[in-house]
Amino acid sequence: MEEVSRFPLIGEEFPKLTVKTTQGVKTLPDDYKGKWFVLFSHPADFTPVCTTEFVAFQMKKEEFDKLNCELIGLSIDQVFSHIKWIEWIKENRGYEITFPIIADDMGEVAKRLGMIHPKKGTNTVRAVFIVDDKGIVRAILYYPQEVGRNINEILRTVKALQTSDKYGVATPANWPENPVLKDRVIIPPATSIQEKEERLERAKKGEIECFDWWFCHKSLDEK
């Protein structure tokens, strides 16, 4: 029976891919070992919404850099098209795109990652794969062609994932600007009666705060 290929899911290894980019041939995720990366596809070069997205990504690149996170674009266009487009962006919008863009002119990468937009020809959806420094897919976001992405949300997601990894916590809705918890983080629920009692004791001592034993939170400054 023929094996059915599917795109990777959250928690799985990002598939090994050799790709052509505006900065030469790269192998994913191997060339980014020890770094996080955000791989995002756009429908086509020289299109208005995609242009605004690339400018927005470039404007936030230093913040991604601080998180040890690289940016990689992708569309089903050839390298010369990418190069001409980023030249246009620099000349007309004043921003130099410094991250690589994959030229998936045969559509093989887009098909492998489930990026092709049904009933839209060979255009890709606005897909986002967030991959950690071990090559594991940590988040996947998909947007239709008509909706430009919120780059701050992608940046926030990387920050939240790294915070969760470092401190063993979860982040609430709209973190770090939750209307109730502000920038506080959520402690995973207790997994035993003993742990529940220990957690309630910590709350009595003021070490953490709890709405109930299963819903406790703390500041990242607290141990």
Report whether pLDDT(223) > 70. Answer: no
In this prediction, residue 30 carries a pLDDT of 97
Residues of the chain above pLDDT 70, percent: 96
Beta pairing, strands 215-218 & 209-212: antiparallel
The two domains 17-149 and 168-223 share their CATH topology (first three levels equal): no
Task: Find the distance separating the first CA and the last CA of the chain, reported in whole Å.
Answer: 53
Quick one: 168-223 is in which CATH superfamily?
Antioxidant, Horf6; Chain A, domain2 (3.30.1020.10)
Residue type, 131: V
Q: What is the DSSP string of 153-178?
A: HHHHHHHHHHHHHHHT-B--TTTTSB
pLDDT tens-digit map of 28-43: 999 999 999 999 999 9
pLDDT tens-digit map of 124-164: 899 999 999 999 999 999 998 899 999 999 999 999 999 99
- Say how many CA atoms lie within 13 Å of 68 toward its Cβ: 11
Residue type, 5: S
CA angle centred on 114, ends 112 and 118, rounded to 5°? 130
Q: In whole angstroms, what is the distance from residue 164 CA to residue 3 CA? A: 35
Q: Which architecture, in CATH terms, is 17-149?
A: 3-Layer(aba) Sandwich (3.40)
| Cis upstream peptide for 179 (omega within 30°) | no
pLDDT tens-digit map of 80-130: 999 999 999 999 999 999 999 999 998 999 999 999 877 766 788 999 999
> Could you tell me the two tokens for 65?
């850099």
Query: Do the Cβ atoms of 7 and 112 come closer than 8 Å?
Result: yes
Give the residue extent of every domain in the chain.
Answer: 17-149, 168-223
- Cα-based torsion angle of the residue sequence 103, 105, 107, 108 in order, rounded to the nearest 10 degrees: -70
Residue 71: which residues within 8 A CB-CB, separation 6 or more? 37, 38, 40, 57, 61, 64, 99
Q: In whole angstroms, what is the distance from residue 211 CA to residue 63 CA? A: 34
Active site residues: 50
In this prediction, residue 222 carries a pLDDT of 63
Residues of the chain above pLDDT 90, percent: 87
